Amino acid sequence: MKLDSKVPEGRLEDKWRNYQFKSHLINPANKKKLNVIVVGSGLSGAGAAATLAELGYDVQCFCYQDSARRAHSVAAQGGINAAKNYQHDGDSVWRMFYDTLKGGDFRSREANTYRLAELSAPLIDHFTQQGVPFAREYGGVLVNRSFGGVQVQRTFYARGQTGQQLVVAAYSQLYKMIKAKKVEMLPRHEVLDIVIIDGKAKGVIARELSTGKIKRFVADAIVLATGGYSRVFRLSTLAIGCNGSAIWKAHKRGAYFAAPSFTQIHPTALPQTSESQSKLTLMSESLRNDGRIWVPKKKGDDRPAKDIPEDERDYYLERKYPSFGNLAPRDISSRAAKERIDAGHGVGQLKNAVYLDFKHAIERFGRETIEDRYGNLFTMYRKITGIDAYKEPMKISPAAHFSMGGLWVDYELMTTIPGLYAIGECNYSDHGANRLGANSLLQTSIDGYFILPNTINNYLEGELKAKRPEIDHQEFSKVEAEVKDQIQSLLDINGSRTVDDFHRELGKVMWQECAMSRNKKGLEKAITQIKSIKEDFWKDVKVTGSSDEMNTELEKALRLADFIELAILMCTDALQRDESCGAHFREEYQSEEGEAVRNDEDYAYVSAWEYNAGEFKLHKEELKFEFVKPTVRSYK
């Protein structure tokens, strides 16, 4: 299949408008006849479901948690970007577009990235209208701060819980439409497969988690908004339930998977302290606005931070990247931390951390200001570690955080399966090989609120004439039987190892070989290892309980089964890309100073994988840069 990105004609500034002019419209009476399934209730899912319902469609919205409001978008602390230029510091749509494209190391589509910047300002208007309590100046106007990888202040925030506040707004808007009887909410329902009829996405099979019941749902179009899949590493900043199952099943049924290996490793999470740890808590990047990162100059220096004099501290980001300093982009900061830790300068119990120090900021601005800016982050740090970060520096460490990769989508956010859309973190769209901080809440919200509701009609208009399949269509029966079989086989294995035990093993391989730094030999080894984990898993996992009850162990097993297969594709993708770009750092391709060396001649494309019965087949979407010239991404 040839990949058609469907990028509209015209100048960058006109593309989205041109698209809207030309796209099909559906009159309100007809919209009522159409029904859309939205899988996910995070910012992308809830935003899409609420807006589609406002436009008149009938919507069913799914989430696996007990309430729509718990989607992992709640965990975003730092903020959301918008080119408002409120600070009068030279920001503009163009600059934001350029920062994002460059931040992604020129591995995203110009037109998508431009649209992201273009729609950012109206999104802040939207959320303000919905009652999000963004931070304000005394005069009542909105405040901004800066985030990694940019030199202007364009980040909006609500204390340290921007994500939570945006989700509450989206969830409330969703419940407004539930009250209007335009949305049916299905919490505690996990989508386990997609039903394709005559080549089009027409339904899903879901498991009701509180009873174990397997159910069928039919629709005229399906939207996946299931979030990131970095739990493939097991230890990550994601929620424990975050999974790749819905997109993986969609992939197996024909949706291409783009750049699966592009994973952002966040530089400022709390370090791992033990084997039994289940997650790594993020400390917002916004802390790098005022915190300074350092390690002791002397290897293995065991003195407490306060006893290490200034001239024996290495503020390595400020040293290596003087113009961006502590605000260097994430991939660069993470790699720099790894480099220092591997060289023996790590601090903390397991020597796997670096310091993030607020001493100078407190001296300069006073404790009160710092408390006002980051109060709840400091409280969170104390709750988890028992340490007061006003008195001694935080210890932080890199952690798997965000999936730039995801289902391949065109300009309309449609996957390669007609009628199947992917929005939010689960698609591959605007971020390229590295996402800039505070750009994801933006992308995920814009996909759901502004883009999808404007593009889906183009497809649905054609479905008006088509008859919706019956729920007892043979394809539904077939897919349902496959889902039930998979569940039964898992329960029947009755082996000797727990699901978590397998997940720990998978996580270690992925972290070692497919995270911050990769090489050919390691990736090849990882693929062999994961294949053998897969074999062992299907021979030796043990899941107790039954299928027709709430069974949290079975839920985990189903998610892990998909993660294992996805992990193989991630390593395959990383192996294929013989260059370093953004978060994808291949050790073979680096400069003498250890910086990434990109290869635009051979790799200026998005890899899009076809499942092909497990023999993954590579397709390429060539990236054409018509409006900007790719440059070497330097933050020196």
Partner 1 sequence: MKVTFKIWRQDSPDSKGELKTYETDGLTEDMSFLEALDHLNEKLVLKNEKVVAFEYDCREGICGQCGVFINGRAHGPHDHMTTCQLHMRSFKDGDTITVEPWQAGAFPIVKDLVVDRTAFDRIVEQGAYITAKTGTAPEANSIPVPKEVSDAAMDMAACIGCGACVATCKNASAALFTSAKINHLNKLPQGKAEQHTRLLDMTKQMEVEGFGSCTFTAACEVECPAEISISSIAEMNARYVKAKIFG
Ligand X SMILES: Cc1cc2nc3c(=O)[nH]c(=O)nc-3n(C[C@H](O)[C@H](O)[C@H](O)COP(=O)(O)OP(=O)(O)OC[C@H]3O[C@@H](n4cnc5c(N)ncnc54)[C@H](O)[C@@H]3O)c2cc1C
Please give the Cα distance from 37 to 197 (Å, whole number): 15
Q: Please, what is the minimum distance in Å from the beta carbon of residue 170 to partner 1?
A: 10
For residue 136, the 8-state DSSP code is B
- Buried b / exposed e across 280-313, counting CB within 10 Å, b at 16+? bebbbbbbbbbbbbbbbeeeebeeebeebeeeeb
Q: Which of 4, 14, 137, 626 binds partner 1 (CB under 8 A)?
A: 137
Nearer to ligand X, 208 or 524 (CB): 208
Which does residue 187 touch among partner 1, ligand X, none (CB within 5 to 8 A, set by kind)? partner 1
Residue 493 in tokens: 């294995």
Residue among 114, 147, 428, 449 that touches partner 1 (CB under 8 A)? 449
Binding partner of 227, given partner 1, ligand X, none, CB within 5-8 angstroms per partner class: ligand X
Residue of the chain from 9, 21, 90, 278 that contacts partner 1 (CB under 8 A): 278
Is 432 an interacting residue with respect to ligand X (CB under 6 A)?
A: no
Which residues 384-413 are close enough to bind partner 1 by CB under 8 A? 384, 386
Residue 555 CB partners (closer than 8 Å, separation 6+) = 64, 190, 209, 241
Told to check if 64 binds ligand X by CB under 6 A, we report yes
Q: Report the alpha-carbon distance of residue 514 to residue 505 in Å, rounded.
A: 14
Q: Nearer Cβ to ligand X, position 225 or 332?
A: 225
**Site for partner 1 contains 456 (CB under 8 A):** no
Q: Binders of ligand X: how many residues, by CB under 6 A? A: 45
Find the shortest distance in angstroms from Cβ 46 to ligand X.
8
Using CB under 6 A, which residues numbered 246 to 275 contact ligand X?
Answer: 246
- Convert 225-249 into a string of H (helix), E (strand) and C (coil): CCCCCHHHHCCECCCCCCCCHHHHH
Choose, by CB under 6 A, the member of 118, 220, 331, 425 that binds ligand X: 425
CB of 137 to partner 1, least distance (A): 6
Residue range at the interface with ligand X (CB under 6 A); choices 63-71, 314-322, 361-369, 498-506: 63-71
Q: Does 282 bind partner 1 (CB under 8 A)?
A: yes
> Residues 225-254: x/- map of binding to partner 1 (CB under 8 A)?
--------------xxx-------------
Query: Does residue 419 contact residue 459 with C-beta atoms inside 8 Å?
Result: yes
- Among the residue ranges 137-145, 242-250, 580-588, 606-614, the one whose residues contact ligand X (CB under 6 A): 242-250
For position 104 contacting ligand X by CB under 6 A, the verdict is: no
Q: Does 38 bind partner 1 (CB under 8 A)?
A: no
Please pick, from the candidates 5, 92, 498, 576, the single residue that binds partner 1 as defined by CB under 8 A.
498
Task: Say if residues 460 and 23 touch (Cβ distance below 8 Å).
Answer: no
Q: How far is the CB of 86 from ligand X (least distance, A)?
A: 18
Please give the residues from 549 up to 568 whose contact with partner 1 meets the rule CB under 8 A: 549-553
Which run of H or E residues covers position 420?
strand 420-422
- Cβ count within 10 A of residue 465: 6
Neighbours of 143 (CB within 10 A): 15
Binding mask 71-90 for ligand X (x = CB under 6 A): xxx-xxxxxx----------
Residues marked as catalytic: 330
Q: Give the integer Cα–Cα distance in Å for 573 and 607.
A: 8
Give the interface segment with ligand X, choosing from 94-102, 221-229, 585-593, 605-613 (CB under 6 A): 221-229
Shortest spacing between CB 463 and partner 1, in angstroms: 22
Measured from the CB atom, the residue of 156 and 355 that comes closer to ligand X is 156
Minimum distance of ligand X from residue 39's CB (angstroms): 5
Q: Residues 524 to 543: which contact partner 1 by CB under 8 A?
A: 542-543
Q: Which amino acid is present at 314? A: D
359-362, long-range: CB within 8 Å, 24+ apart, which pairs? 359/393, 360/292, 361/290, 361/291, 361/292, 362/390
Tokens 């900021």 belong to: 361
Q: Is 176 in the site for partner 1 (CB under 8 A)?
A: yes
* 374's tokens: 């980051």
Given the complex with partner 1, which of 464 and 550 has the nearer CB atom? 550
Cβ-based nearer residue to ligand X, 75 or 308: 75
Site string for partner 1, 458-497 (x = CB under 8 A): --------------------------------------x-
Q: Name which of 271 and 346 has its Cβ closer to partner 1.
A: 271
Smallest gap from residue 301 Cβ to ligand X (A): 30
* Distance between CA atoms of residues 69 and 389, nearest Å: 30
Per the structure block, which two tokens stand in for 467?
Answer: 């008859």
Classify residue 396 by burial, with Cβ atoms within 10 Å: 0-12, 13-18, 19+. Answer: buried
Q: How far is the CB of 371 from ligand X (least distance, A)?
A: 19
- Among 254, 291, 348, 453, the residue binding partner 1 under the rule CB under 8 A is 453
Is the CB of residue 166 less than 8 Å from the CB of residue 44? no
Stretch that binds partner 1, among 48-56, 338-346, 395-403, 619-627 (CB under 8 A): 48-56
CA–CA dist 34, 58 (Å, integer): 6
Q: Residue 70 or 202: which CB sits closer to partner 1?
A: 70
What is d(CA 441, CA 166) in angstroms, rounded to the nearest whole number?
9
Contact 218/471 with Cβ under 8 angstroms?
A: yes
Binding partner at 225 among ligand X, partner 1, none, C-beta below 5 to 8 Å by kind: ligand X
The smaller minimum CB distance to ligand X, of residues 452 and 596, is found at 452
Least distance (Å) between residue 107 CB and ligand X: 18
Q: How far apart are alpha carbons 108 and 96 in whole angstroms?
A: 14
In angstroms, the CA 30 to CA 28 distance is: 5
Q: Is 1 exposed, middle or buried (0-12, 13-18, 19+ CB in 10 A)?
A: exposed
Phi, psi of 376 (to 5 degrees): -75, -25
State the alpha helices, DSSP H only, in 23-132: 28-31, 43-55, 93-103, 110-118, 120-129
Which contiguous run of DSSP H or E holds residue 329? none
